[in-house]
Structure 1
Amino acid sequence: MLDRIDEEITFRKLEILLAFMESGNLARAAERLGVSAVSVHRALRSLEAGTRCSLFRLEGRNLQPTEAAHALADVAREVLQAMSHGIRATREIAGYAADRIRIGSLYSLTSVTVPALIMGLRLRKPDIQTELVLGSNHDLLRKLREGALDAAVMGFPEGASDVECQLLFEDDIFFAAPAGSPYAGQAEIDLSACVDERFVSLNEGYVTRDRFVDAFRVAGFEPNVVMTTNDIFSLMNLVGGGIGCTLLPGRIRGVLPRTVCLLPLQPRYQMRQKIGVMFLRTRERDPNLLSLLAACRSHAAELKG
């Protein structure tokens, strides 16, 4: 069993000891550490109390280290270096300030938003490696909390007090129908008139599915969903193939097949999504995440401009 170390001996006091030994006097050690000479003197005397031996002798007005002080300084240097390496390894395992970052994303954000954020991040940290993980809002939030992701680009989660959210943009929800359908010529869609229509949708856990449910709740009926999928691009193709209509976010307009048209909903059915970058509040000082946030703010400013 290891001997117990006196509580007077701390890492900070060992750092002060090394600063004193390397600088040669109290004043220079204090200047180097940004503290007062009195604080340095107090820490050195405290180490004597903790080791229960004399570490210094007084020569005139100066403290001179004894052989015991040199021995403790040698050990302190090894201990502090080992702890520094240990903390660095711990942070890398946890993804903090590592040379890679794991970013989660909704499928619908991979065509424009995610590439823009990754490019912005690499401008700030050129050597960083990026791993992209796709999934639903529910899956991404779970992986974020489990530590499998460092950040996620997704819809704002409700009631997630442990998550920090940086807004990128707000997105309107539209009615999506086959280009040749009777809906294609309408200025806006009244969902209550679509009771007999067939619909396709995303599975549960996606923010677009949540807004789909909310809109039909306002319409006052349960839609006839004939097929579901986990991929918004497959969802668009199902609509284009005539399988059914759906509700889609406006951000996919740039990758929409020609066989699909997006139509505004009547005001009472209109829904919005808040899209942003999410990360755990406990990671708010992570240098990689701070760089990602900077890229996020730049992209948001470009969108507004």
Structure 2
Amino acid sequence: MIGSRVKYRHLHTFVEVARLKSVVKAADSLNISQPAVTKTIRELEELLGVALFERDGRGIRITRPGDVFLRHAAASLTALRQGVDSVSQELLDNVPPVRIGALPTVSTRIMPRAMTLFLEERTASRIKIVTGENAVLLEQLRVGELDLVVGRLAAPEKMAGFSFEHLYSEQVLFTVRAGHPLLGGGSVFAGLAAYPVLMPTRGSIIRPVVEQFLIANGVAALPTQVETVSDAFGRAFVRQSDAIWIISSGVVAGDIAAGMLASLPIDTSETKGPVGLTLRTDAPPSLPLSILIQTIRQAAGEVLPV
């Protein structure tokens, strides 16, 4: 059948010659030689059994049969392009997103820069970033709902089946609003009981660290506690009250630098712990995930000391 022998190159070349009314211009547009254009048009004319172009002075013009065929050829090319675009979009839509779990401190300090670098790579991959408690994120990673968790190193018994790559270390701060009474001097630990304290929730990875630190410094109990992992609530509540927010330094680093919050004069260096990348050992990272991991490493190196 004639249709089965007409190729895409025949249609594409014919439409370009008809559009530009010139073999020379069509050759330039298609980035092929003039003889190649002439040969392709002749092949198509032989397949169809009609002349598609005729001379017109120093140029050419399309014949009546050529004009009839042009309408179908152009429509076929348009339909083919639309089909390719539709399939490409369908494949893109069906590509599973790269799913990242990040602690609030990481979401605040590292991920914005990492995502900027990742988007510059133009992978066309979709990214999903969720924030929550470390234990919840690790469980989602374990069951395959996440591909990567960026957060603190979990306890050894929680790391079975996982690998961890250290990026940097981070400590806990006791944060208050600017002008808070405890910034004026005196024993900070003795004064904690007089104010509401925002504590990490019991499921959070820094809760045991905070409890051990308080006990080691003579604070056995705090009368008024509010447990939260919401950085939005913590930030808003502390700025409008005398509450004390015990939180990882990365979450409030920008607020402290801007003078909106302040860190109480307490040496919390012993609360410092490793923050890094946790992956499942039985799930090799995809190419987009590998690229994102590289950008997270770069962002951490730019923003924070190891």
The one-letter code matched in structure 1 to 2:237 is: L
Question: What TM-score results when the alignment is normalised by the length of structure 2?
Answer: 0.59
Q: Deviations over 1:90-137 (max 9, x none)?
A: xx9xxxxx5520111122322231122223333445211101112111
Alignment partner for residue 101 of structure 2, among 94, 99, 104?
A: 104
Measure the CA separation in 1 of the matches of 2:179 and 2:203: 31
Q: Which runs of 5 or more residues in structure 1 are unaligned?
A: 1-91, 93-97
Residue 143 of structure 1 and its aligned partner are, at CA, apart by 0.5
* Separation of aligned partners in 2, 1:195 and 1:255: 24
Question: 8 Å contact 1:176–1:261 — kept in the other structure?
Answer: yes
Q: Which moved more, 1:231-240 or 1:196-205?
A: 196-205
Counterpart contact for 2:101–2:149, Cα < 8 Å: yes
- In structure 1, the partner of 2:234 is 235
- SS of residue paired to 2:150: strand
Q: Which secondary structure state, in structure 1, belongs to the residue aligned with residue 171 of structure 2?
A: strand
Rounded to whole Å, the distance in 2 between the matches of 1:275 and 1:264 is 24
Which one-letter code corresponds to 2:200 in the other structure? L
How far is 1:151 from its partner? Answer: 0.8
Runs (4+) of structure 1 moved beyond 6 Å? Answer: none
Equivalent-residue separation in structure 1 for 2:229 and 2:305 (angstroms)? 30
Which residue is 2:114 aligned to?
Answer: 117
Alpha-carbon distance change, 123 to 214 in structure 1, aligned in 2, over 3 angstroms: farther
* 1:176 equivalenced with 2:146 (yes/no): no
Correspondence for 1:199 among 179, 194, 197: 197
With the length of structure 1 as denominator, give the TM-score of the two structures: 0.59
Q: Equivalent of 1:212, from 203, 210, 213?
A: 210
Q: How far apart, in 2, do the equivalents of 1:127 and 1:189 lie?
A: 55
Structure of greater Rg: 2
Unmatched 5+ residue regions in structure 2?
1-90
Tell me the percent identity: 18
> Partner residue of 2:153?
156
In 2, the alpha carbon distance for the partners of 1:206 and 1:189 equals: 28
Amino acid at match of 1:249: S
Backbone CA RMSD of aligned residues: 2.9
> How big is the shift at 1:174?
1.7
Could you tell me which residue of structure 2 aligns to residue 226 of structure 1? 225
Distance 1:117 1:298 in 2: 7
SS at match of 2:130: strand
Q: For this pair of structures, how many residues does the alignment match?
A: 208
SS of residue matched to 2:154: coil
- In structure 1, the partner of 2:131 is 134
Alignment partners' CA distance in 2, 1:104 and 1:153: 6
Distance 2:238 2:155 in 1: 29
In 2: Cα distance, 1:273 partner to 1:237 partner: 26
